[in-house]
Amino acid sequence: MESKSKFWHGVLVGALVTVFGGLLVIGASSGILMLGRRTLNVEQQQQIQTVESETDMEKGELDYQKINVKLELLNQKVGEAFYFEPDEKNMEEGIYAGLMAGLGDPYSGYYTPEEYADLMEDTQGVYCGIGAMISQNLETKVMTVIRVFEGSPAAEAGLLAGDMIFKIDGKDVSQENVDLVVKNYVKGKEGTDVVVTVLRPSASDYIDITMTRRNIEVPTVEHKMLEDGIGYVLITQFEMVTADQFKAAVKDLQDQGMKKLMIDLRSNPGGVVDGAVSIAAFLLPEGDILRTEYKNGQEDVYRTKDKKLRVDTTTGSKFPQYPVLDEDELDIPIAILVNGNSASASEILAGAMKDYKRATLVGTKTFGKGIVQNVYPLRDGSAIKLTVAKYFTPSGYDLHEKGIEPDVEVELSDELIAKGYYSLEEDNQVQKAIEILNE
């Protein structure tokens, strides 16, 4: 039992001190010192009953002594009765995750060091790999390439959408979890080779495709030129790279003669707020873009003024990434496509454009997520995510749990919903937006 007791040494103390900062003295005075796996004697059993019967804690205040004693009891029972060998690292992480789950907020949570590292890579929009998106059938476990990024190692080597992945570097991965396959086998050190064995529907045998990993900037923006001088830009999510990708797409469309713009935010779940704010600043005249309101009464206002995008706060707090130069205003007719899965940062952009009457919103009501989360890294490489603020559109509209109504409501046709995949020419919401832009 000696090695196992090391797991409990200071587990709760570590959680409270690391997460909440200055609770070391409070924790120590409450008896949160050391949680060794041991048998509780009669006196300690009585202590549990005494602690559990106390009711003099102020409402909402944690009773650290009670928590400490109860954890000892639970740990004892695990040691005595649990048939399998417990994974003590998972148990520790479960304590922290449970603490955050107790907030009752689906948007707040705990990240293990591994999960936080993955999160940071995702939000940066850059990783080292082959440049392909892979999906997995949950029933058959078959992994299929659904998208190959233009100019990527995958594209250069001839990997195609529709290819089914069976082996990587000779190892059968056909029944493994797709997230683990990507993390453990597809991604890797820049300049290293990876051999992916696929089955192609048009081929009769397996194909080995060798690719050299390199840094990939995930394309969160796609664009194409439609008829009548209409540029179409799809934003799949908002990451740190999205604003630059959007501006590059607009420039390319302008070079092709774009006179009107359609922005597709349908099923865009949001992401990094700064990406949405930067795009709004690029499209709008000078003025307020977004206001956030915090628990302590602080308010931050993102606005453009004197050709700069800046953040003004009621407390004088500094945002190191601001101000930034903003000399643009795209003064052409704009339509924005939205639906019930357009959320968070998508609603920031759509809401600002609607308030300024700079775009016609087409589709269905948006999701209604008007709250902001911050991620706080901890000393051991883990992190917590907390809902810290509500945000409001430039007009002061609180969209949380309400959503944003489109200017022109158009449901996606039942036929297209059943079909699943369809072209822009078949898309009745896109066609309605074209009709509006051509009026």
355 is an active site residue:
yes
* Full 3-state SS string of 195-259: EEEEECCCCCCEEEEEEECEEEECCCEEEEECHHHEEEEEECCECCCHHHHHHHHHHHHHHCCCC
Catalytic residue among 355, 382, 427, 432: 355
Dist CA 401 CA 347 (whole Å)? 12
- Confirm if 242 and 272 have CB atoms less than 8 A apart: yes
In this structure, the strands spanning 132-136 and 308-313 are unpaired
The owner of tokens 């991965």 is 173
- Confirm if 328 and 286 have CB atoms less than 8 A apart: no
Number of Cα atoms under 13 Å in the Cβ half of residue 438: 12
Dist CA 110 CA 107 (whole Å)? 10
267 is an active site residue:
no
For 68, the token pair is: 């400490």
Catalytic residue among 369, 385, 427, 432: 369
Dist CA 14 CA 212 (whole Å)? 42
Catalytic residue among 108, 152, 342, 344: 344
The amino acid sitting at 144 is T
Number of Cα atoms under 13 Å in the Cβ half of residue 119: 19
Dist CA 55 CA 336 (whole Å)? 55
- CA 346, distance to chain mean position in Å, is 13
Does residue 374 sit in helix, strand or coil?
A: strand
344 is an active site residue:
yes
Dist CA 130 CA 109 (whole Å)? 30
- Closest CA relative to residue 194, chosen from 206, 178, 182: 182
The owner of tokens 């001839």 is 158
Say which residues have a Cβ less than 8 Å from residue 262's Cβ, sequence separation at least 6: 226, 230, 231, 232, 233, 334, 335, 336, 337, 430, 433, 434, 437
For 288, the token pair is: 């307020």
- Confirm if 215 and 191 have CB atoms less than 8 A apart: no
- Closest CA relative to residue 380, chosen from 112, 96, 124, 115: 112
Residues serving a catalytic function are 344, 355, 369
